Structure formats: structure tokens, C-alpha cells
Amino acid sequence: METQQMHFNIGAVERETGLSKDVLRMWERRYGFPKPRRDDNSERQYTVDDVGKLRAMKRLMDVGLRPGKIIKLTQEELNAMADARAPARAEHLTPALESDVLSMLKSHDATVLQHTLANLMMRQGLQRFILETIVPLNRAVGDAWMRGELQVFEEHLYTEQLQTALRTAINASPRQLGVPRVLLTTFPSEHHGLGLLMAEAMMVPEAVQCISLGLQTPLEDICRAAAAHQVHIVALSFSAAFSLRQATEGLASLRRQLPGSVTLWAGGEMTRRVRRTMPGTVLIPELASITSALRSWRALWQPH
Amino acid sequence: METQQMHFNIGAVERETGLSKDVLRMWERRYGFPKPRRDDNSERQYTVDDVGKLRAMKRLMDVGLRPGKIIKLTQEELNAMADARAPARAEHLTPALESDVLSMLKSHDATVLQHTLANLMMRQGLQRFILETIVPLNRAVGDAWMRGELQVFEEHLYTEQLQTALRTAINASPRQLGVPRVLLTTFPSEHHGLGLLMAEAMMVPEAVQCISLGLQTPLEDICRAAAAHQVHIVALSFSAAFSLRQATEGLASLRRQLPGSVTLWAGGEMTRRVRRTMPGTVLIPELASITSALRSWRALWQPH
DNA sequence: TCAAACATTTGTCCTGGACAAAATGGCACC
DNA sequence: GGTGCCATTTTGTCCAGGACAAATGTTTGA
């Protein structure tokens, strides 16, 4: 069989991997990888394998590894390393569910998946559903995709169904005038919205009044929105890929601009990489911590 | 009052405007705008005004104007030009509604907005709601934002509420096994999802079986998904900002890879800029055309 | 043991050059 | 008057190779 050898130019690789053109050229200069063929016009022509390895590298860098340490490994070694870093499987209460969902995805049956998710949510309640079902499931789906067991479009279908389920649940909950009021959003370069949605779903049952602005709100507008809606807490979500530098810079700037009475929360995969303490910012590295953070806030809050 | 003069480096401007670093430097070289101050390290420091004018330019370029023609205009002239290009307001059935919604947004009352949208949807039915309410409303909100009458965070709140309303409606409709089956998604560099959602909402009442993969499905996976789900139609959504070149290239490639029996639809603002005819691709430049395109498809379809 | 000073790694920005795809304008031809 | 084709201009993307600063890692000294 003749494999169709697709080629990518540097712009396509940037889109596919999230690594900037500058970085791709710099790695080639410094480490000798990737070293793509050139076309007639001496422009780089990356192979599918290049892109695969770059994606695997990006994934590991998103959890804190540095390029120099991993650039010489093969893609298999990179994937193995990613598997090894994954938290122990012991914590999964229902490993059977994982393989069930994966096989649903592979058989492309959206309806069954949708019903399964809805049923689980009913049985477990929203918070337990997220913590005990969705979080492990997300990891399982991500791993399966990385191992090549799951196609991209199958993963997209999963994300879409999950989003529908979560939005339905959030929407169904009565929008009461609760305390605290929480503003939920992300910084402008964030592309992933599931984290935000899960955070909102974790808070809604706690009688929190959530105001979600969706993704990519400019810094200034976060401040304006916080004032306009008179929120008590501003909560930001950062996916694993978010640049540590941009995040710390942005959070510091936000902290300076927000009134002291407003609490600032930063959550999401990225926050696990943070080493320095950030004064005036509460880090919430996992969804489970939301409830305790909420408890702490309520313990300190004095109704005006 | 001392205006806080924020400065942007070239990376920030790229994120804010969607214009690549290469383009920003090239415009400076060729046209002399923008010509930002340099900091100690001779790095470009763009002003807020620069970014504002760049955004206004980008918006006009997204509807087909070329930089050379507009780069010498002031930001006011650019905005005036954008207003002038807007379709006549006569078509609006309920101009009062627009100002109502805008004032709701300015008063930051999400609940009222949500109820208003839900009520209108009930009264008009999903399709008329989209065509007669949402399309003009989207334009009104976009214009108000451009004119500076609406803050970014207010526009975000609108988008978020609208998305909730649409998803609820789509979800409420029984997912029947209809014909045709339609695969809905976008190309990888598309960032806007509202168009996709509106398209889905237009189709659901027509007893179409929609399978949405959300945003950013790689080309190859669109083909795989089309085969796996045995769809009759693949429908792609392109926002105004989408690069014409990437779109035509991608559509041609997709057409080559899809079986001839699968119909290919391309819709969204961008498709209004297309001049050449694209063999094997149906252009759907506005949402209203979806129903007629569907009728044509059904007229030709022979149950196997 | 901790912290300050130094070294290395890494990403982002810079200049200025090159080229091809798309848009435009002119021109012959129907 | 319209229509297809070719030359020209416009515009975006890519390239090489240099510079520097922020983040990280390592050693030294109290």
C-alpha cells in the first residue's frame, strides 16, 4: 500500500502543533530537529511524522518538560513517557466505563454516548459526575488519541457531546441570586473551553451565581466586567498549553487593576506548573479544590 | 485625567488583531503604518490607537477590501466606511428590539436577556428566530462594538447567552434518524463557532440529522468522519476573517478526497468574498439559503 | 540549609531579502 | 457591450542569521 505522503509548510505546522514558526526554525538551527526537506523554492516541507513527534513533544512541554531533554527521543519514547507521567489508574472507580465510552466513540454512535452521559449525570449528581467520571474520562480519551487509538474526529465528537451535556445541566439549574457572584472567563490566547465549563458546572450546585463570558476576554475587559457585575470572585481557566509567562504576567497585572475586595482564582492544568507563589492569587490546580476554595471564601466573607 | 497608555509588543498585537507579525512588519516597511516607537531593546511598542486602527482595517479586509486602499484613512473614516457597507437597515422588522437588546447588554442583566431570547424563539420558531432576529441582532451588536458603544465583555455576554439559547433549542429537538445526514464542522484555523451553531439550528427543524464535530477538524478527519457516519452532506462554516486562499485550497482538496456521492457545502461570511466558481462545492453565503439548498438536494436524491 | 551569584537553556524579536499567488488593468476578440 | 486572456501590481508568507532577556539549573559561600 502506498501511504499518501502529505506535506506541511511551516505555517501549517504552526497551526497543527501550536509551535510558532520562530520556534520551529530555532529548534532546527539548535537541535537539528525537525529538519524537513525543502521544496523548489527552498521552503520547509514537514512530514506527517515530523508533525506527530512535534505534537508529542508539545504535549510533554505543556506539563513542564523542556525541549532539550526530550528532542532526541523517538515518538514512541515520548508517548511512553507521557503514559508514565499519567497519575496512577488506581483512582478510577469505573475503569469499565472508560473502555465502554471509547468503544462507543469508535462505533460513532453519538446518541448512545449522549444517553450514557445524561444517565450518569442523573445518578451521580453534577459534581460527582465531573470529578469521578468526566475527569478520568477526559484523560482516557486524551491518552487514546495520543496513542493513535482514537481519531481526531472521534475525540471531537466526544468533546461536543460532553459540552452539550454540561451546558444542559448548567442551564437546567435555577439561576438564583446567590453569593458569591463569580465571573468566569479566560485570557485572550486561551483556546480551550471545556475547563471553564466544568468549573461552572462545579459551582452551580453550590448556589454560586456564575457569570460566564466564554473564552478570550481582554484583561481590561475582565476588570470592567468585574466592576459592572459587582462580582466577588474572578475565576480564570488555563489549559495545559497556556504559556506560563503570559499567565503570570497577566495575573499580576490583573491583580493590580482589580479592587482588593475581589478575590482572584486561577485554575486549570497549567496551574500545576506554577512554582512561585503568586501573592493575591488563589491557585486551583484541580477541579476538586473548587469546593474547598469556596468554603474558605465563605468563611472569611462578611456580608456588607 | 491621565490616560493610561498601555503598550503592546508585536506578539500581543498579533493576538489582538489576528494580523501576523510578518504582516505587521511588512506594512510598516511598505506603507509606513503602523510605525510604533521602540523600547530600550529596539522592540516595537504599539499604542492602543494603533491596535484600534488595525482592528478596523482587519474588519474591512475581512469583507474584501485591500490594505493599500484603506491604510491611509483615519480610524473614523474606516468605521464610517464599515457602516456604509452594512446592508440597508430597512430589512429589519423590529429595529426597536435592537436597541432593547443593546440596552440590556449595557445594563449587564444576563437573566433578562436570556428570557427575551427564549421568548422570541418560542414565538417565532427556531428558523424565523435566527433569520429575522439573530442575524440582524448580530450585526447590530458587531457594529455597536466597532463604534465603541459596546464593551468587549458586553459583547461576550451576548455571545454566551445566544449560544446557550441555540444549544438548548437544538438539544430539545428530537434527534431522529432523518435524511440527509449532515456533518457539520470547520477547518482547523477557524475560531468562530456561532455560525456553525446557527447552521445546525437552521437544519434541525427540517428533519436533518446533524452530526456536529465542533470547530477545527483537520481535513483528513473530515473525510474519515464523513465515511464513518455515512453522511450525505459535509457542511463547513467560514467566518469573515477566514483566509480566502486557505479556504479554496482546503475545499478543493476535500472535494478530491470525498466520494462523489457526498455533497460539499461551504457557508458563512467568508463565502461572500469568493469570486471563482468552485466545481463540486455548493456555496451558501447566507443562512436563509440553507433551506433552499436542502430542497434542491432532496429533489435530486434517490433513495438507494 | 538556605540564598545569592553565575551559567545555560530557551523563546521572542530584529533586519532585510526573495518569491509566488491573487487582484487588477488593459486589450483583443466575439 | 461583454468575455477571455495576458502583463503588472499588490500582498502575504517564507528565509537566514543575529541579538537579547527571561526562566531554569548549578555552584558557591554564609
The answer to whether the CB of A166 falls within 8 A of the CB of B166 is no
Q: What is the pLDDT of residue B223?
A: 93
Q: Which amino acid is at B170?
A: I
Question: Tens digit of pLDDT for each residue in A145-181?
Answer: 877 789 989 999 999 999 999 999 998 887 778 889 9
Low-confidence residues in chain B, pLDDT < 50:
1-4, 88, 90
Confidence at A260, pLDDT banded by 50, 70, 90: very high
- pLDDT tens-digit profile of A64-106? 899 999 999 999 899 888 877 665 454 555 678 888 899 999 9
In this structure, which amino acid lies at residue A89?
R
Percent of chain A at pLDDT exceeding 70: 94
CA distances in angstroms from A184 to A161, A215, B155, listed in the order given:
22, 9, 15
As a rounded value in angstroms, the CA-to-C1' distance for B253 and C30 is 35
Query: Is some CB atom of chain A closer than 8 A to the CB atom of B108?
Result: yes
C-alpha cell at A159: 468533546
Protein residue nearest nucleotide C16, by CA to C1':
B29
- Chain A residue numbers with beta carbons less than 8 Å from the beta carbon of B167 are 164, 167-168
Of A111, A189, A214, the CB nearest to B160: A214
Whether B9 contacts chain A with CB within 8 A? no
**What is the pLDDT confidence band of residue A240, given thresholds at 50, 70 and 90?**
confident
Residue A256: per-residue pLDDT: 84
Helices B95-106 & B152-172 angle (0-180, nearest 10): 120
Lowest-confidence region among A248-252, A267-271, B27-31, B177-181:
A248-252
- In this complex, do A108 and B157 lie within 8 Å of one another by their Cβ atoms? no
Its sign, for the CA torsion B264, B265, B271, B275, is: positive
The mean of the pLDDT values for chain A is 88
Largest CA distance in chain B: 73
For residue A27, pLDDT over 60 is answered with yes
Distance in angstroms between the alpha carbons of the first and the last residue of chain B? 73
- CA A27 to C1' C16 (Å) is 22
Q: Does B156 touch chain A (CB under 8 A)?
A: yes
- Pair type for strands A44-47 and A37-38: antiparallel
Kindly report the backbone phi and psi dihedral angles of residue B46, in degrees, each rounded to the nearest multiple of 5, phi listed first.
-80, 145
Cis peptide before A34 (omega within 30 of 0): yes
